[in-house]
Structure 1
Amino acid sequence: MSREQILDELRSQLELGNHIIGVATGAGITAKYAKQGGADFLLMLNSGKFRQMGRSSLAGILPFCNSNDMVMDFASREIIPLVRDIPIIFGLNATDPTKDMETYISEIKNKGFSGINNYPTVGLIDGQFGEALGEEGNGYLLEVEAIRIAHEKDLFTIAFVFDEIQAAQMIEAGADIICAHLGLTEGGLLGAKKVFSLEAAKAKADKIFNTCNALKPDLIKLVYGGPVKTPIDVQYMYSNNQNLMGYIGGSAFERIPSEKSITNITKAFKVSGTLDEDDFMVKMLDGITKHYDYVEFVKEYVAQNYMNEILFADLAKVAHVSRSYLSSLFTKKVGCSFQTYLVQFRMDKAAEILHRDHIQLSELAPLVGYQDYAQFSKMFKKYKGFSPKQYKSNINTKT
C-alpha cells in the first residue's frame, strides 16, 4: 500500500470517530488475527520475534542478533505472504553499521513493506551507555535520518519519540505518525517491572502532543507501551487526552494474552474439571462478572503490590471513578476501610513469611511495604497481638 493510501484510510477512520490501532508482532498467527480484529497496520519488530521465543521485549535492544536481518527474514517469509491489504511496517534498526540506509530502505520497499518504524530505538537507553552512544555518533539522530530517507522514498513512517525535542525532529524529517513511547510494556510474567503510572504516562504524552500540535496540528498521534496495556488503560488515556488518536501495542496483543490464556487453559486441563471458583475466567463463564468489579480490582492490586507504596487516590484514577465513590463502595462490600484492609493484608503476609522463611526481622518490613521497622513493628503488634520478635519466637518454640 502506498503512503497516500495509508494516510487516506487512517484519516477516514478518524473522521468516523474510530481510533487507530497498530499491532507489533513477530508471528503470522498474531498478524492474521490482528487484521481480522480490525488492526489498521502491523509493525514487524524484532521484539515480537523474541516474545515468540518466550523472551521479554527488552531482548530487542540487546546484542543477541542482527535486528534488521531478523526482521527481514521472518517478516518477508511469514507475514507478507500471509496477510494482504494491510500496511506492514518494517522495524528498522537505524544505528546498524552494517547497512547503508539509503540502499537498505530501498530494499525494504522492494520487498513489499509499506513503511518503516524506528525500532529498536536508542531512545530506550539512558545514563552513561546512552551518552556513550551519542558521543560515538550512534544516537537518536540516526533514527531521525532514517525516517527522513524513508519519507523521501515515499514510504509511510511511524516515529517512536520519548520527548518533545525528538518529536520536533521527527516532524521535521517528515514522520506520518508520532507515537509517544512510554517505555517497555508492564504487566504479565515478562513485563518491565518499573512502575510508571498512567497519570505520569498521560503527562508525558501531553507534552509530546502539545509540541506536535504547535508544529503540525493534523499529525496522527498515538501512544505505545509503559503502563498502557489493557483496553481499560487505553480508555483512561483517551478520556484524559483529547489529542490521542490511537494505540500501538505488542506485548498487550500477544504476550500478555498468551500468558493468561495458556496458563489458565493448562490449569483447567490439569485439574480435570475441578476449577477454582475464584478464577476470573470461571466467573466470566458463569456470568457472575457482568461489569467491571472495582472492589475486586482494588483487592487484586493489593495482592500484587502490597510490598510497594499504594495510594488509594491513584487506584481511583486508574479505575476512572471518584475517590469518595470507590472508598464508599469498598467499605460497604469489604466491611472495613481500604487503609485497614491494606494494613491487615500486609500483616497477614508478614506472618506468612515468618512461618515460611528464615529471615532477619530487619529484612521483613520492606517486604510488606514498610521502610520504617518501628512503624511496622507497632502495626504488627496491633494486629497480631505480639511483636514480630515475639511472634517468631513462638513459631520457633512450636517447631
Structure 2
Amino acid sequence: MAFERKQIVDRLKAQIKTKGHVIGVATGAGLSAKYAAKGGADLLLALNSGRFRQMGLGSIAGMLPFANCNQLVMEFGSREIIPAIKNIPVFFGLCATDPTINLENYIGDIHEKGFSGINNYPSVGMIDGQFREAIEEDGLSYSKEVEAIQIANEKNIFSIAFVFDEIQAKDMLAAGADVICAHLGITKGGILGAKKVLSLDAAAKVAKSIFDVCDKIRPGVIKMIYGGPINSPLDLKYMYDNTNVMGYLGGSAFERIPSEVAITKITREFKIAGIQDDTLAKILEGMTEHHDYIAFVKEYISQNYMNKISFSDLAIEAHLSRTYLSALFKKEVGCTFSEYITRYRINKAIEIITNKKIPLSEVAFACGYSDYAHFSKAFKKETNYSPREYLNDTKGHKHHI
C-alpha cells in the first residue's frame, strides 16, 4: 500500500532532524530490497538499471533499448518489491519520455499499484552531444521529466527529481519536487563500474552549485546526491563535510559492489577449502584481488587522522612510487593528499567544537596538530574563521569547507 505524500515528508524530515541524513537504495530485486530495508534504508527506488545489475550488466544498460523500461519496473517492482516491503516507501523509476504512455494516467496507475511516488529515471539528463540534440528535436526532452514531476505534484504524489545542473534544479523546484537529487553520473568502482567519473572534489562542487539554487528558491526541500565517485561511506562522509546534502541515494554502492566482493570472496574460500599447501590459495587470491590504492589511503586517514601521517610511508605500504600514488590520488579525489587530509582534520575539528565542550588546544591535538598556531592558521584558511571565532560566533551552525 502506498504511503501518503505528507507522511513521507514528515518521516524523512524527522529522520534528518534526529540522525542528520537519510539513505535511499535503488534496487532491482526483492532480495536486495528486503535486506536494504533490514539495514535501515529510509526509502527504496525500483529502477530499470537495478534489474540489469541483477543480470550482471552495468547500470548504463538502463539507458539502452534492451527492454521496455516502464514495463520492466512495473513488473518486478509490483511483484517482488511492493509485496516484500511494508514499512518503507517504494518509488517508481519512470521513463517520462516514453511516447507510448499517457503520463497523467500512467502516474495514477503507478500510485494505485502501491508505489509511493516517482523518480525521473532513466533521464535524458545523462545524454549529451548529437544524440541529445536529435531526441530533443523529436520532443523527447528533459522537459517531459519536469512535466511528470508536475503531474505528481498536482496529484499530491511524492516525487524525487534527478537533476544535473542548476537550470534543471530550478525547473524541478518550480514543478514541486519533494527531493532534489544531484545526479553525479554512473557510479565508479568494482568490476562493472564506470572508469571515467568526476573526482570527489569536483562532485562536491557540482552538488553545492545545485543546492545553492535550492536554498535560494525553496530552502526546505530535501537535498540528496546519487552516483558518480561516491561508492563508500568515506566518500559519502566527504560529501557530508563539504556540502549541505541531507542524504544519499545509491544503487551499485549497495547492490552491485558488495555482491561482487562477497560472492568472489566466498567462492574463493570454498575453492581452497581443505588445501594444505597454501601456494594455490595465494595464486587464486592474486588472480582475483583488486587493489584500490586510493580507498586504502582514505581509509588510513579516517583511522589515523589524529596522528602524524607520512604520504611517502603510505606509498611504500601500497608498493607504489610516491609520485605515481600522488598522481592517482589527485586524479580520483580532485585535490592533493595534503589538501584532503587538512580538510578532513578541520571537518573533524568542527564536529568536536560543535558537539563537545573541550579546550581548543585539545581539539587541535585530537585532530593531528601538535602546534596550536598551525591548527589555527589551517582552520582559518579553510573556514574563514579562527577556531575561537567559530566557537563564539558560529557554534551550532554547519559551515562546509
Which band: TM-score by shorter chain?
Answer: 0.7 to 0.9
Computed over aligned residues only, the root mean square deviation of the Cα atoms, in angstroms, reads 2.9
Distance 1:82 1:325, change over 3 A: same
The aligned counterpart of 1:46 is: 48
Question: Would you say the 8 A contact 1:198–1:318 is kept in 2?
Answer: no
1:30: which partner in 2? 32
- Report the alpha carbon displacement of residue 19 of structure 1 after superposing the two structures with TM: 1.3
Matched with 1:244 is 245
Q: 1:319 to 1:196 in 2, by over 3 A?
A: farther
SS in 1 for 2:44: strand
Aligned equivalent of 2:126: 124
Q: Take 2:57 and 2:85, find their aligned partners in 1: how far apart are those partners? A: 25
Shift of 1:272: 1.6
Partner of residue 293, structure 2: 301
Q: Distance in 2 between matches of 1:342 and 1:116?
A: 42
Superposition misfits of 4+ residues, deviation over 6 angstroms: 277-280, 315-318, 334-337, 340-343
| Aligned counterpart, 2:66 | 64
Q: How does 1:120-159 map to 2 (within 5 A)?
A: 120-159=122-161
Percent identity, please. Answer: 55
Relative to structure 1, is the Cα distance of residues 342 and 217 closer, same or farther in structure 2, using a 3 angstrom cutoff?
closer
- Displacement of 1:338 in angstroms is 1.4
What does the per-residue CA deviation read over 1:19-74, in whole Å, with 9 as the maximum and x for residues that have no partner? 11000001101111111111011000000111111111001010111100000011
CA distance in 1, matches of 2:136, 2:301: 40
- What SS is found at the alignment partner of 1:54? coil
Distance in structure 1 (CA, Å) of the matches to 2:317 and 2:84: 50
Q: What is the CA–CA distance in structure 2 between the aligned matches of 1:225 and 1:191, rounded to whole Å?
A: 10
Structure 2 CA distance for aligned equivalents of residues 204 and 12 of structure 1: 27
Structure 2 residue identity aligned to 1:327: F
Deviations 1:66-114 (A, max 9, x none): 1000000111111111110210100000000010001100101111110
Q: Is the 1:183–1:225 contact (alpha carbons within 8 Å) kept by the matching residues of 2?
A: yes
Q: Any conservation in 1 of the 2:211–2:223 contact (CA below 8 Å)?
A: yes
TM (norm. structure 1) is 0.73
Q: Say whether the 8 Å CA contact 2:78–2:113 is kept in structure 1.
A: yes
Q: How does 1:1-399 map to 2 (within 5 A)?
A: 1-241=3-243, 243-273=244-274, 300-301=292-293, 319=301, 325-327=309-311, 329-330=313-314, 338-339=322-323
Rate the CA distance shift 1:45–1:334 in 2: closer, same or farther, 3 A: closer
Deviations 1:355-381 (A, max 9, x none): xxxxxxxxxxxxxxxxxxxxxxxxxxx
Q: Deviations over 1:173-218 (max 9, x none)?
A: 0000000000001111111111321111111101101111110111
Three-state SS of the structure 1 residue aligned to 2:19 is coil
Q: Give ranges in structure 2 of 5+ residues lacking alignment.
A: 328-401
- How far apart, CA to CA, are the structure 1 residues paired with 2:54 and 2:299? 33
CA distance 1:191–1:328, change in 2 (3 Å): closer
Alpha carbons of structure 1 residues 206 and 217: separation in structure 2 relative to 1, 3 Å = same
Paired amino acid for 1:143:
E
Please report how far the alpha carbon of residue 18 of structure 1 lies from its aligned counterpart in structure 2 after TM superposition: 3.1
Instruction: Tell whether the 8 Å contact from 2:21 to 2:247 is kept in structure 1 after alignment.
Output: yes
State the distance in 2 between where 1:333 and 1:172 align: 52
Task: Flag the 1:59–1:333 CA change in 2: closer, same or farther, 3 A.
Answer: closer
Q: Is the 8 A contact 1:115 1:156 kept in 2?
A: yes
Relative to 1, partners in 2 of residues 1:239 and 1:318: Cα closer, same or farther, differing over 3 Å? farther
Runs of 5+ consecutive residues of structure 1 not aligned to the other structure: 281-296, 305-314, 344-399
